[in-house]
Amino acid sequence: MPADASILPHLQRLEAESIHIFREAAAETERPVLLYSMGKDSAVLLHLARKAFHPAPPPFPLLHVDTGWKFRAMYEMRERAAAAAGIELIVHRNPEAEARGINPFDHGPLHTDLWKTQGLKQALDSHGFDAALGGARRDEEKSRAKERVFSFRSAGHRWDPKKQRPELWRLYNARKAPGESFRIFPLSNWTEFDVWQYIERERIAVVPLYFAAPRPTVERDGLILMVDDDRMRLPPGEAPVERWIRFRTLGCYPLTGAVESRAASVAEILAEMRSATTSERRGRAIDRDQAASMEKKKQEGYF
Amino acid sequence: MVTGASTADLAVILLDARKGVLTQTRRHAYLARLIGIRDVVIAVNKMDAVGHEEAVFRAIDGEVREFAAQIGLTSVAAIPVSALNGDNVAARSEAMPWYKGPTLLDLLETIEPQAAAPAQAPFRMPVQWVNRTTDFRGFSGTVAGGSVRPGDAVRILPSGRSTRIGRIAGFDGDLAEAAAGQAITVTLADEVDCSRGDMIAAADDPPGTADQFEATLVWMDEEPMLPGRSYWLKIGAATVAATVTGLKYQVNVNTLEHIAAKTLELNGIGVANLALDRPIVFAPYEENRDLGGFILIDRISNATAGAGMIHFALRRAHNVHWQHLEVNRAAHAALKGQTPRVIWFTGLSGAGKSTIANLVEKKLHAAGRHTFLLDGDNVRHGLSRDLGFTDADRVENVRRVGEVARLMADAGLIVLCAFISPFRAERRMVRAMMPAGEFIEVFVDTPLEEAEQRDTKGLYRKARRGELANFTGIDSPYEPPENAEIRIDTTALSAEAAADLIIEALSR
Ligand SMILES: Nc1nc2c(ncn2[C@@H]2O[C@H](COP(=O)(O)OP(=O)(O)O)[C@@H](O)[C@H]2O)c(=O)[nH]1
């Protein structure tokens, strides 16, 4: 294939499918928004959105549902990426969570529920977004394996398994009544490995925390956490330990486990992945909280 | 199964060596064939349980070949495996030295995946999105067949306008060529009309357009498919209104027999004729999945109710062109000095539809208007004599009445229709047949208790005694209108007052 000869046919197929989904989403919904969380999947998603609508900018804004507890490097990436794409960036912070000082140390699962799940619903409702494009992939974990590309949400953002629509060929049914909405996942058929290969080939900028480096860390419940700022709670006498680490997924820093690694480039990450088989979401404290509860989180509207 | 198969290149069907070919094996092979999967691998599992006997495998292999030929599957391979120890899955089996063919994994690796869209074909691209900036007007879509280069002569369908490809605008610079499967954006050399749902195609070999088809339907909704009901049909980037005009037969997927049927239930598969409200660009599904595969969407629940695969266009669509009549609709109406209308009275049996419609007609007639009243009495005995009161028959009855009313309105008449017409979907279908503003829905709103108490024809009593089946309001549903132009509350208004109110609304 002439101009894109450097792309593997496999990646090219995935890319074309995602672009197709973006265009369907833009054409068939009234007010779509791209959920942007600064991670590698968001980076790929944003890149594909730009490709889909080039030379025009993507016909939707970016939305970041913030918790105030992301890694500092992620906030830097957020401003840069939005500016580069020429897209409006909306940042939403749940005022209730803010007022009540909800944080990952004292509030456990409530932190995720209030900041992320409720925060997302508030943001979608207050702006009248009827379609939220996100970077979830089917390979991430079991409950997502059967998720649709156009995932239907009843009024109130409820995910009802009986209302999900069969998806045949490249035909997506985006019809809905007022108050109903869609979550749309253009990366559904990508694997973590595909994402990294694509980042490599397209030279997409990602947060440096994905690459191994010596960083200050502590251990909590078997997770290696990075001490990203002085809000990390250390008992008297504990000092952070420097370890070579990188992250496979990025979230709130006190809840996101690192892996020990020396992989400092995309090529080295790919090499490491070829010999590993664990799920990237293993590093997330929220998923381990209630292992079988992802299904429940989805029904409640967590992404 | 059908959903997953629609995007698959290959199917692996697992069967148990102890049990051999089961009904389920046949069904899955048939569905794979139906959806167009070329390569089917039959993994004959649990060979350890039959002592790794060659004879057992040979017998199954023979049976597989026979029914594969029967359903027209051309590339079928059977492999004896034992998942227990991985025999012939990834590694060759020492227990089955008599098997000389490839292992399952070997076979999967040698089979060339089918391209989703055919590369060696004339160029086709359904337009998904019009990309506009102040100085750019491009058309985005996924190439569904062939390839394209700047300068190529193309035709925009269904309008048929010709132009040439300008640029193929890529993110990292323009492309010199784009091929089937790629998602691209092209510009056109001329300012021609082109929007979402149109197709850009090779000028010298454009695809067909038609508004009537024969297709295989696979039903996926709890609500059964009803011929005559209007559905949304989505194909490529186009969405049009469609009705099933006739179900030719249903297929028993276990025996492959054709059986006569009027409707399709959940998971039913059949062959049907469809009519659309406007022409679409298409190719037979066998030639091109993207141009021949469609979904049907329920217009009320918005559920994806069914999927279909186009066989061919029905000749009528090509040949029966609408006669461009010299004496047209406007001429008929002008001679009568009135605006044609269809006034549609809906409500429960005994609500007062016919009484009110009669009064309205008398008043209009007295005012010198040209009218005609259609109701159960003059329709059920002739035009719809062959229909009963099942859901399917009610839908067909309303469709016929709608078509007749439309022709009468074309003749310039004010047509009054008094029918229970219990389903929103059909009332909406008739509304869609008429020019905007010419369909007036009158909801004769009488509560069931009230209608039952009046019971002028004694029907409710009969229904309650179980002597009338499918009686609206008793054992058959009534869906009240949500946006009727006029609502008559018969508990508050006399029939006279109701008729005056309708005349008054008409003159506005
Ligand atoms: N079995 C059955 N017969 C009905 C039903 N509704 C009406 N009928 C009979 O069919 C005749 C014409 O029905 P139709 O034109 O649809 O309704 P109408 O204009 O409200 O009387 C009625 O006069 C009844 O004899 C029903 O729900 N079930």
Average pLDDT, chain A: 86
Q: ipTM of this predicted complex?
A: 0.81
Predicted pLDDT at A4: 38
Q: Which of A256-270, A275-289, B175-189, B338-352 has the lowest mean pLDDT?
A: A275-289
Higher pLDDT: A275 or B140? It is B140
Q: Which positions of B are annotated as active-site residues?
A: 421
| pLDDT in the model for residue A71 | 93
Number of H helices, E strands in chain B: 14, 24
Q: Please state the rounded mean pLDDT for residues A29-50.
A: 95
- For residue A172, give every residue at least 6 positions away whose Cβ sits within 8 Å of its Cβ, in sequence order, or none: A21, A24, A28, A149, A150
Residue A2 confidence (pLDDT) above 50: no
At B496 the pLDDT is 93
* Interface list for A 148-187 with B (CB within 8 A): 163, 165-171, 173, 175-177
Confidence band (pLDDT; 50, 70, 90) for B325? very low
For residue B33, the surrounding DSSP H or E stretch is helix B23-34
From B459, B462, B464, B479, mutation site for ligand 1 pocket: most ligand atoms within 8 A of C-beta? B459
8 Å CB contact between B341 and B503:
no
With CB atoms and an 8 Å threshold, state whether A173 touches B3.
no
| Shortest distance, CA B439 to any CA of chain A (angstroms) | 23
Chain A contact for B162 (CB, 8 A cutoff)? no
- Give the residue-averaged pLDDT of B209-218: 94
The answer to whether B126 and B142 are in contact (CB under 8 A) is yes
Residue nearest to atom 25 of ligand 1 (CA): B459
Tell me, what's the pLDDT at B468?
86
Amino acid (one-letter) located at B500: D
pLDDT, tens only, B436-454: 889 999 999 999 999 999 8
| Band (B319; pLDDT cuts 50, 70, 90) | very low
Q: Which residues contact A65 (CB under 8 A, 6 or more apart)?
A: A35, A37, A92, A115, A116, A119, A120, A123
Cβ(B405)–Cβ(B430) below 8 Å? yes
Contact A23 B177 (CB under 8 A): no
Query: Any chain B CB within 8 A of the CB of A297?
Result: no
Q: Specify the pLDDT at position B32.
A: 87
Joined together, the tokens standing for residue A286 give 């929220």
Q: What is the pLDDT of residue B163?
A: 95
C-alpha closest to that of A239 among A215, A213, A217: A217
Q: Do A3 and B175 touch (CB under 8 A)?
A: yes
Please indicate if any CB of chain A lies within 8 Å of the CB of B31: no
Task: Kindly write down the DSSP assignment for every residue of A222-249, as one continuous string.
Answer: TEEEE--STTS---TT---EEEEEE-SS
Quick one: pLDDT band at residue B479, thresholds 50, 70, 90? Answer: very high
Return the structure tokens found at A74: 């992620």
A24 interfaces chain B, CB cutoff of 8 Å = yes
Q: Which atom of ligand 1 is nearest to the CA of B471?
A: 27
pLDDT digits (tens, 9 = 90+) for B30-44: 888 888 887 889 999
Asked if B177's CB is within 8 angstroms of A169's CB, the reply is no
Give B3's DSSP letter. H
Residue A287 has pLDDT above 80, yes or no: no
User: Which member of B3, B173, B237 has the closest CB to residue A166?
Assistant: B3
Centre of ligand 1 to C-alpha B231, Å, is: 26
**pLDDT given at position B189:** 95
